[in-house]
Amino acid sequence: MVGAIVESHTAKIAKIMAEIFFLLSMILILLRVKNSRQNYTVITTLLITANKVLLVEKISIFEF
């Protein structure tokens, strides 16, 4: 039972790290494109959704 809990905990952490890496790469790609007001809006939206997703994931990690 404990092994399964640790395994699911590790899987959740790995998923969060993958999401962070993906979002950072998306932001870097957007920054390489012309710096315009629209790009900043997209980046802001990405960061807001990332924070919401990560907050939910962090809460679910500590639920067990």
pLDDT at 56: 67
Measured CA to CA, the distance from residue 57 to residue 26 in angstroms comes to 20
Number of domains in the chain: 1
Measured CA to CA, the distance from residue 5 to residue 52 in angstroms comes to 24
pLDDT at 5: 60
pLDDT band for 64, please (50, 70, 90 cuts).
very low
**Alpha-carbon distance values, 25 to 12, 37, 48, 61 (Å):** 20, 19, 16, 24
pTM of the model: 0.41
Express each pLDDT in 8-58 by its tens digit: 777 777 777 778 878 787 777 777 666 666 667 777 777 777 777 766 666
Q: Evaluate whether 54 touches 16 at the Cβ level (below 8 Å).
A: yes
Structural domain that includes position 8? 2-61
